[in-house]
Chain A
Amino acid sequence: MISCTDFIPAYSELFKQLEKLGGPEAVTGFWEYLSDNFLHNLGTIVEEHGIRGCWLYWSHTLNEEAADFTMELDEEAGTFKIVMHRCPSKARLLEFQHIEPYHNYCGHCDLLYRRVLDPLGYEYKIDLSSVDKATCVCTVTRKPTE
């Protein structure tokens, strides 16, 4: 058995294996599969609660993952923001000196959530420019209704 505390390096290795088998497209294909099959709870909670659904969803996952973050919700403005001071996943990968993480590990955060939120009328953006320090900023904005 692999402990859930060892999942992140296992996930990183899975991306590497997929890329070896089918190139970057194979990794992207897997992320699309994950988004379509494992993020129903995000879609459902946002459909039910609107932008507050993001707050509810990430309140649960980021606390369970023991992340170091600030989350902000402004329901009137239709905005939600996560400032990740130290991503627990990326930080773990950077801490392990004996493994080489997948080169685009954080790319999955860019694809997975956008794929769920965009069709529901929310713009998802993530700034991955400082992932070498295990930090990132993600914003979700309600799109204007036409």
Chain B
Amino acid sequence: MAKESMTRSASDNIYLHKDFHGALSGGIDYLHKNYGEEAVREYLRAFTRSFYAPLIRNVEERGLSALKEHFERLYEIEGGDVCITCTEDELIIDVNACPAVMHMRKHGYKVADLFFETTRTVNETLCEGTQFAAELLHYDEETGRGRQRFYRRQA
């Protein structure tokens, strides 16, 4: 019968708890089943407008390069296999395998039917009130492989 003690400070570890993807997926699934598809989209819109407000302001001021930097940082942290190309008028993100979906598949989490909305709805909302728009051109539910496009709206 042992006595043990462990003390850790935040700097002892890197903040990267990928099981949170499973928890988010669970939340989306719960919202979908109990309140419907639109409740999921409204939730993701509300989250994006609130939490990513500084990024949206940055997109208004600096254009697509702000989004490019955001996604480069995101996929670097998550270890994603992606190819990002950007001009002043168009940003393309080719995701070969989504790190969130791959983590959930590997560890047996259910991937919510509407999990792709964390890409489509979030991206669309990031463009609200800016000169840009977003579309999800392709998405594979099994791996999260897909192509995301941001582009300048026609005047």
A130 contacts chain B at the CB level, 8 A cutoff: no
B77 CB contact (under 8 Å) in A5, A37, A71, A96: A5
Task: Give per-residue flags for A61-104: 1 if the beta carbon is below 8 A from chain B beta carbons, else 0.
Answer: 11111111111111110000000011010000000101110000
* Contact, CB under 8 Å: A17 / B31: yes
**Chain A residues with CB under 8 A of B144:** 1
**Chain A residues with CB under 8 A of B53:** 98
Q: How far is the CA of A3 from the CA of B71 in the complex (A)?
A: 10
**Chain B residues with CB under 8 A of A75:** 1-3
Task: Give per-residue flags for A43-63: 1 if the beta carbon is below 8 A from chain B beta carbons, else 0.
Answer: 000000000100100010111
B83 contacts chain A at the CB level, 8 A cutoff: no
* Contact, CB under 8 Å: A7 / B47: no
* Contact, CB under 8 Å: A72 / B78: no
Q: Chain A nearest CB: distance from B59 CB in Å? A: 15
B8 CB contact (under 8 Å) in A3, A26, A68: A68
Using known A-B contacts A1-B119, A4-B18, A98-B54, determine if residue A76 contacts B1 with beta carbons closer than 8 Å. Answer: yes
Q: How far is the CA of A66 from the CA of B9 in the complex (A)?
A: 7
Total interface residues on B, CB under 8 Å, equals 51
SS class of chain B's interface: helix, strand, loop or mixed? helix
B69 contacts chain A at the CB level, 8 A cutoff: no
**Chain B residues with CB under 8 A of A22:** 35
B30 CB contact (under 8 Å) in A10, A33, A59, A65: A33
**Chain B residues with CB under 8 A of A70:** 5-7
B137 contacts chain A at the CB level, 8 A cutoff: no
Q: Chain B nearest CB: distance from A114 CB in Å? A: 18
SS class of chain A's interface: helix, strand, loop or mixed? helix
Using known A-B contacts A11-B27, A38-B23, A99-B51, determine if residue A17 contacts B16 with beta carbons closer than 8 Å. Answer: no
**Could you say which of B38-46, B84-92, B127-135 contacts chain A?**
B38-46
* Contact, CB under 8 Å: A13 / B14: no
A109 contacts chain B at the CB level, 8 A cutoff: no
Give residues in A with beta carbon < 8 Å to B: 1-11, 13-14, 16-18, 21-22, 26, 29-30, 33-34, 37-38, 52, 55, 59, 61-76, 85-86, 88, 96, 98-100
| 5 further interface pairs, Cβ-Cβ under 8 Å (given A1-B74, A33-B26, A37-B26) | A4-B17, A5-B77, A17-B42, A65-B15, A71-B7
A-B CB proximity, top 3 nearest: A7-B20, A76-B1, A4-B20
Give residues in B with beta carbon < 8 Å to A: 1-24, 26-27, 30-31, 34-35, 39, 42-43, 46-47, 50-51, 53-54, 74, 77-78, 80, 95, 98-100, 118-119, 122, 144
